[in-house]
Amino acid sequence: MCRKVVAEQEHVADTPLQGIGKEPPPSDVVREASISEILTGSAKEAVLRVQEYSYLAAQSVANIFSRPHYVQDTLDQMDSIGVGSLPIVLLTGFFIGAVMVLQTASQFVRFGQTSLTGDAVALALVRELGPTLTSLLVTGRCASGIASELGSMLVTEQVDAMRAMGTDPSRKLVTPRVVATVLVVPLLTTMSDFIGLVGGCVAAVFSLRLGVVQFWTRAIDALEFSDIMQGLMKSIVFAFILSTVGCYKGLTVRGGTQGVGRSTTQAVVISSVMIIVADTFLTKLALYMADKLF
């Protein structure tokens, strides 16, 4: 449980890194670290990581307001993240919409109110499932891709080469990915919402024998401006989270190719957890704002 710490600074140079031609350090220069030291060290490390992440995230936004801009890189990323994710987002959205109809209808049928299915599905999709599921799908596909791509560039010294040639990696690599993700995820969410309603409609028509016009009328009438704003606001925040976490984990890879794999996994796990945690607070905020503003 305890790890060794070096007691005297002057003995640090005797570690294996510096040990050419030297005897190993005598055993009395190391001692067991106390639990409080371990906890303090871990806490400091965690705070440092949060600080580094916050700095990178802030830098990625600040870069937008000064030159140089990498427009072509941003467009390339939009193509890769947006167009590339479209099939899985649409396919998943369709079946989520259908499943939602089947699940809600099984409850509404008890009260003889299956016509309310359109309302429930529209609200659930636009407010919650559309942005959250789309972001989680993009996280699985793109946060991992960003982390592995940047991580590989880091371990093969391409990031250093970029800096050595006078290019700021946060401008060239991070900002285009963050901007592209923040622009395309709301678009993907909108398409996912629509195709989800189409899936819901298909399920409602064939399973509940509801009319197409009836389903769409109720679904559209149930939605208010605040619901759409809530969904879009969430998708923007989730996109920012998944892209910045992907970039951060990629640019802080340690330990070669094995480290790239580890960072890729961490990028997906951390982004997913952060998205779901942020969702709770954003929902509360959105409901509060809807009450006050709309």
- In the complex, minimum distance from the CB of residue 237 to other proteins, in angstroms, rounded to a whole number: 28
Q: Report d(CA 132, CA 270) in Å as an integer.
A: 15
**Does 15 sit near other proteins (CB under 8 A)?**
yes
Shortest Cβ 6–other proteins spacing (Å): 8
Determine, following the binding rule CB under 8 A, whether residue 213 of this chain makes contact with other proteins: no
Q: Which of 47, 123, 287, 97 is nearest to 207 (CA)?
A: 97
Q: Within 48-77, which residues bind other proteins (CB under 8 A)?
A: 68
Cβ of residue 44: shortest distance to other proteins, in angstroms?
Answer: 12
CA distance 236 to 144: 18
Nearer to other proteins (CB atom), residue 128 or residue 168: 168
Q: Does 24 bind other proteins (CB under 8 A)?
A: no
Name the minimum Å distance from CB 181 to other proteins: 19
Site for other proteins in 163-182 (CB under 8 A): 163-168
**Among 65, 33, 55, CA closest to 244:** 55
Q: Which of 1, 18, 26, 65 binds other proteins (CB under 8 A)?
A: 18
Q: In angstroms, how far is CA 68 from the centroid of its own chain? A: 26
Q: Binding residues for other proteins, how many (CB under 8 A)? A: 25
The CA–CA distances, whole Å, from 126 to 130, 219, 223 equal 6, 10, 8
Stretch that binds other proteins, among 159-167, 217-225, 229-237, 256-264 (CB under 8 A): 159-167
Q: Does 87 bind other proteins (CB under 8 A)?
A: no
What distance in Å separates the CA atoms of residue 40 and residue 182, rounded to the nearest whole number? 36
What gap in Å lies between CA 175 and CA 61, rounded to an integer? 7
Cα–Cα nearest to 272, from 144, 90, 95, 125: 144
Residues binding other proteins (CB under 8 A): 6, 12-18, 20-22, 68, 153, 156-158, 160-168
